[in-house]
Amino acid sequence: MRDRVKTLKRVLQVQKKLHALEELKYVRLKQKVQQCQDDQRDLTNSLSSEDALHGLFLDMTVRRVQALRLEEARLAPLIEAQQRVLSEHGARLSNSERLSAELGEELKRTDERLELERLLEAGFAQSGASSEQDR
């Protein structure tokens, strides 16, 4: 049983690391979307300004805003998919944690039972009594 506990602890560690990696992927995707939105806002603000060089870069700025919108649209389904993956990993992680806790409790009860049996046998041996009922 102790081997099962060790194996389950290793599985739990792996599940935690996989979950952390999936969280990192999700956060990075969200950061990319946020960066696209920030860049679009900055470019839009620059388009509305009355700068002397405003007309020279108008076409290039508009193309960049469009490209950022396309990038944001491309990232949206990836974020949704990553959310599902993250949710699945979270479920696996919580399942592994539950199994680990249950097995740990079972091992603890088994150890306590064995210790109690050992103490009872030692007590019977010391008093000269047997664990069998007298006839």
Q: Per the domain annotation, does 31 fall within a domain? A: yes
SS3 annotation, 17-38: HHHHHHHHHHHHHHHHHHHHHH
Q: Is residue 126 part of a domain?
A: no
Judged against a pLDDT cut of 80, whether residue 122 lies above it is answered with yes
Cα distance between residue 29 and residue 84, in whole Å: 14
Task: Confirm whether 120 is domain-assigned.
Answer: no
Q: Considering its fold, how many domains does the chain have in total?
A: 1
Identify the burial level of 36 via C-beta atoms within 10 angstroms of its C-beta, where 0-12 means exposed, 13-18 middle and 19 or more buried. buried
Segment 43-51 shows an average pLDDT of 77
Task: Please report whether residue 63 resides in a domain.
Answer: yes
| pTM: predicted TM-score of the whole model, two decimal places | 0.71
The domain in which residue 88 lies consists of: 2-109
Instruction: Decide if 134 is inside a domain.
Output: no
Would residue 57 count as lying in a domain?
A: yes
- Answer yes or no: is 123 within a domain: no
User: Each residue of 49-88: pLDDT tens digit?
Assistant: 776 566 677 788 889 999 999 999 999 999 999 999 999 9
